[in-house]
Amino acid sequence: SQTIHQWPATLVQPVGSPLSLECTVEGTSNPNLYWYRQAAGRGLQLLFYSVGIGQISSEVPQNLSASRPQDRQFILSSKKLLLSDSGFYLCAWSIGAEAFFGQGTRLTVV
């Protein structure tokens, strides 16, 4: 069966510091991969998606970037965090329209 791993679970970072969140998927090949953000009181917002190695699509202009160095690895990064980057970050994979989420990273920028 397919599983998705995301880490760390929680993170507190100062403004201006870099960020790297990692997500890996097991049990499937060539999945579509996604990064979402859920801010307090708001719905899930799609940040990036990838249909293959090195292929990244960005949904919204922002302070973040994503990379897919391997088929089942998806990384979310920032060079300098802003206070507004705080939120619950979720990695997901899909084959078809259904999305399956990792456990999420709760990021607090202070």
Partner 1 sequence: RKEVEQDPGPFNVPEGATVAFNCTYSNSASQSFFWYRQDCRKEPKLLMSVYSSGNEDGRFTAQLNRASQYISLLIRDSKLSDSATYLCVVGNSGGGADGLTFGKGTHLIIQP
97, 107, 108, 109: which one binds partner 1 (CB under 8 A): 97
* Rounded (10°) CA dihedral 38, 44, 45, 50: 100
- In whole angstroms, how close is the CB of 32 to partner 1 at the nearest point? 6
Q: Which residues pair with 92 in a beta bridge?
A: 34, 101
Residue 49 in contact with partner 1, rule: CB under 8 A: yes
Footprint (CB under 8 A) of partner 1, residues 61-90: 88, 90
* 102/107 with CB nearer partner 1: 102
Residues near 45 by beta carbon (within 8 Å), at least 6 away in sequence: 36, 37, 38, 39, 59, 60
Contact 18, 78 (CB under 8 A): yes
Q: How many CB atoms lie within 10 A of CB 99?
A: 14
Burial of 7 (0-12, 13-18, 19+ CB in 10 A): middle
64, 66, 92, 109: which one binds partner 1 (CB under 8 A): 92
56, 62, 73, 106: which one binds partner 1 (CB under 8 A): 106
Footprint (CB under 8 A) of partner 1, residues 26-45: 32, 34, 41-44
Interface positions with partner 1 (CB under 8 A) = 32, 34, 41-44, 46, 49, 51, 57, 59, 88, 90, 92, 94, 96-104, 106
